[in-house]
Structure 1
Amino acid sequence: MVLHKENALHVQPIQQGERIHLLDSIRGVALFGILLANMLFYQEPKFISFGLSPNEWTESYNVAASWFLDLFVVGKFYPMFSILFGIGFAVFLKKAFEKGVKAKGLFAKRLTILLLFGFIHLVFIWSGDILVNYALAGFLLLLFFDLKPKTVLNWARWLFIGFAVLIGFFGIMNAALLEYFPEEIGVTTEVIHEANEVLQTGNYGEVLVFRLVNELPVVILNLILAVPMILPLFLFGLYVTKRIDIFRVQDHLDWVKSIWKKSLVWGIVFTILFAVHKGEVLPIPSFLSLGLADMFRSFSGLALCIFYMTSVTLLVQKQTWQPLFRLFSFPGKMALSNYLFQSFICVTIFYGFGFGLFAKVGPALSILFAIIIYGLQMAVSYYWLKTFQYGPFEWLWRTATYKKRQPMKVKG
């Protein structure tokens, strides 16, 4: 591909008229699901996955809410966001190639800026950041753009299976070590108490220091598995753009229905297997059940994620469902800004420099909090997009990528 200087001078990001509104709706649904899943993680130190949980919610309504989140929410919506990222990657490169620019170099610059956003978010706001993982995995995605659809699908399938099995293996090893060597391996109740104390009552500086010392090393260590695990999800999205015309999904509804049926069946199978092992129903060692639960959570997460995405795709074709999913499209159009604002809002609610509700809000109330926060984001996004073309962080991202101030206000 030859770079034409006159085209390079006029390269522009995808404009509002070129947007795929179905993807905005699915992205909005994913954003809500991620908020639902993250509400409990905002209330747990990042290192508790290696030890004890900071609290146990024993009330029947909290137990039911916890099972609902585990079965149908946690691990189901970050794959959705990831697949959408893969789709967006392919659309971005296709548009850039059509305009005669060095598309991969431009996308690498875009990833670098996303990495900077993620680093700032991770260090100064919340340790559960996903943007760093996305940016790093995005650089690997560049290696697959020119491959044939079947080759991309095979890479996606086998990478995902391999890493899901690996996660299950590590889960078994970790659970076994905690069972047989709890004092040497586990997080002590004293550490959990310290975490609760600092995060519930500390000012911003105290919370920041605690997170940098105790949480950031765990997050960095997790990148070794987290980044490769995201790559196959990106590849599934890339495969979709190679398999169908993403701008005319309505011409491929038979294919979508076929995927919908398969994902429903596999979603039911893997969700049952996850529930059986999470509940330790089978007469096998506890550490084996917990490790297998981690593996089956990955498989059920992907299957249900695809089921949710194809369900939205099919429902959007029906006029009665269009108003609902149009509401989701508004926060979906400014998903980066809304994702970051979710962190600002939630750390203010839960950390000591805000309302100090860390580890005090159970699963049931967390669902209510998420609905209220997302409802507000829907309303703010709707009114924001009446005046502006992009969310504030989307505008900053585009302006930095193209080294040119992007028009912000809606024309006319």
Structure 2
Amino acid sequence: MKENRQRLAVVDGIRGCSLLGILLANMLIFQYGIWGKDELHLYAPSAVDVGAYALFGIYAAKARWFHEPDRERPFYRNGAILCLLPGVVLACAGYVWRDEAWSGTADVLGNSLLAFGYLFALAYVFSQAAWSTWLHRFASVGKLSMTNYLMQTVICTTIFYGYGLGLFGNIGVLAGILLAVAIFALQAAGSHWYMRRFRCGPIEKLLRMWTNVSFSGRPKEKAAVGRGVTTSA
């Protein structure tokens, strides 16, 4: 049970950090619109990218990399170092020498290594979450990931779009970053308060009800054929 709680804390913490990154990235879109929207194919991940990340996730699950965070902490640290350092070098090389034939390959490899490095680094940090109340706040945001994601959209569109304050393109990049941090801080405090009183977020509850076809959100129990026991569907 303790190991399961630690695993969930690590996963929820990573999701919480991801939401902060999404908010920071989307802040530019909320202010200035989508640059390059007519060439979205240049930004979409290829089938190779999707397949590689999917295989990585399957292997990580099979290898139980995130089931015992305390024991795997040295592994997370080493993985972060081995991925982040070459990732930075390759990504920078691909940008600086972008006219070279190999720059595209360096950029793809560098970005992939950075993604894995961030994952290991966050896992390492959140495997030590017991000593930090702030890290617990990130985990609380992650537990309500879908609710918080939709809330970010509502808050930001209300601030920037015409039906709200109409500040589209008026506050600047630095102010946008500070605004994103402020919004996330409020979400972290609110999520922590909410999770101390409820077990599941409102949107997460609806998703569970839909997935399990149950008003309680829990899997239905079926009677085992020929036995006097019940099993979860």
Q: TM-score, normalised by structure 1?
A: 0.46
Assess, with a 3 A threshold, how the Cα gap between structure 1 residues 266 and 19 changes in structure 2: closer, same or farther. Answer: closer
C-alpha separation between the residues in 2 aligned to 1:340 and 1:319? 26
- Structure 1 residues 405 and 378, CA gap change in structure 2 (3 angstroms): same
Shift of 1:404: 0.5
More RCO (CA 8 Å, sep 6+) = 1
Which one of the candidate residues 25, 28, 31 is aligned to 1:43?
Answer: 31
- Residue 315 of structure 1 is aligned with which of 110, 116, 125? 125
Q: Does 1:404 align with 2:214?
A: yes
Aligned to 2:186: 376
For 1:329 and 1:345, the matched residues in 2 are separated by 21
How far apart, in 2, do the equivalents of 1:299 and 1:312 lie? 20
SS of corresponding position for 2:68: helix
SS of corresponding position for 2:178: helix
Match of 1:343 in 2: 153
Report the structure, 1 or 2, having the larger helix content: 1
Aligned-residue offset at 1:21: 1.1
Q: Percent identity?
A: 29
Q: Who is 2:16 aligned against? A: 28
Indicate conservation of the 8 Å contact 1:44/1:359, yes or no: yes
Q: 1:359 aligned to 169, 174, 179, which one?
A: 169
Distance apart, 1:238 and its partner CA: 2.0
SS of the aligned residue for 1:247 comes to: coil
Name 2:56's counterpart in structure 1: 236
**Is 1:392 the counterpart of 2:202 in the alignment?**
yes
Question: Can you list the C-alpha shifts for 1:353-408, whole angstroms capped at 9, x where unaligned?
Answer: 11112222322111101101101111111111122211111110000110101269
Quick one: structure 1 residues 343 and 262, their matched pair in 2 at CA, closer, same or farther if it must change by over 3 Å?
same
The corresponding residue for 2:225 is none
The one-letter code of the counterpart of 2:14 is I
Cα distance in 1 for partners of 2:158, 2:108 equals 31
How many Å separate the matches in 1 of 2:107 and 2:69?
29
1:372 to 1:398, Cα distance in 2 relative to 1, 3 A: same
SS in structure 2 of the partner of residue 354 of structure 1: coil
Query: Deviation per CA, 1:66-104, whole angstroms, max 9, x where unpaired?
Result: xxxxxxxxxxxxxxxxxxxxxxxxxxxxxxxxxxxxxxx
Aligned to 1:247: 67
What are the within-5 Å matches in structure 2 for residues 9-408 of structure 1? Answer: 20-46=8-34, 48-49=35-36, 222=41, 225-226=44-45, 228=47, 229-277=49-97, 284=99, 292=103, 298-318=108-128, 322-406=132-216
Determine if contact 1:267/1:304 at 8 Å carries over to the other structure.
yes
CA contact (8 A) 1:266 1:303 kept: yes
Could you say what secondary structure the match of 1:381 adopts?
Answer: helix
1:240 and 1:302 map into 2 onto residues whose CA distance is 16
CA deviations on 1:49-73 (whole Å, 9 max, x unpaired) are 167xxxxxxxxxxxxxxxxxxxxxx
5+ long unaligned stretches in structure 2: 219-233
Distance 2:73 2:36 in 1: 41
Looking at structure 2, the residues matched to 260 and 247 of structure 1 have their Cα atoms a distance apart, in angstroms, of 18
Within 2, Cα distance between the matches of 1:364 and 1:226? 29
Contact 1:349 1:355 survives alignment (8 Å): yes
Q: Given that residues 334 and 390 in structure 1 are in contact (C-alpha distance below 8 angstroms), is that contact kept between their aligned partners in structure 2?
A: yes
2-structure distance, mates of 1:392, 1:227: 34
Kindly indicate whether the alpha-carbon contact (under 8 Å) linking 1:43 and 1:350 is maintained by their aligned counterparts in 2.
Answer: yes
Give yes or no for contact 2:6–2:127 (8 Å, CA) kept in 1: no
Listed one character per residue, the Cα deviations across residues 217-265 of structure 1 (whole Å, up to 9, x for unaligned) are x6xxx49944734443233222211123532132333432331221122
Count residues in correspondence: 214
Paired AA for residue 238 in structure 1: I
1:35 offset after TM fit, Å? 0.8
* Equivalent residue letter for 1:342: Q
Residues 208 and 217, structure 2, Cα contact 8 Å, conserved in 1: no
Kept in 2: contact 1:315–1:321 (CA 8 A): no
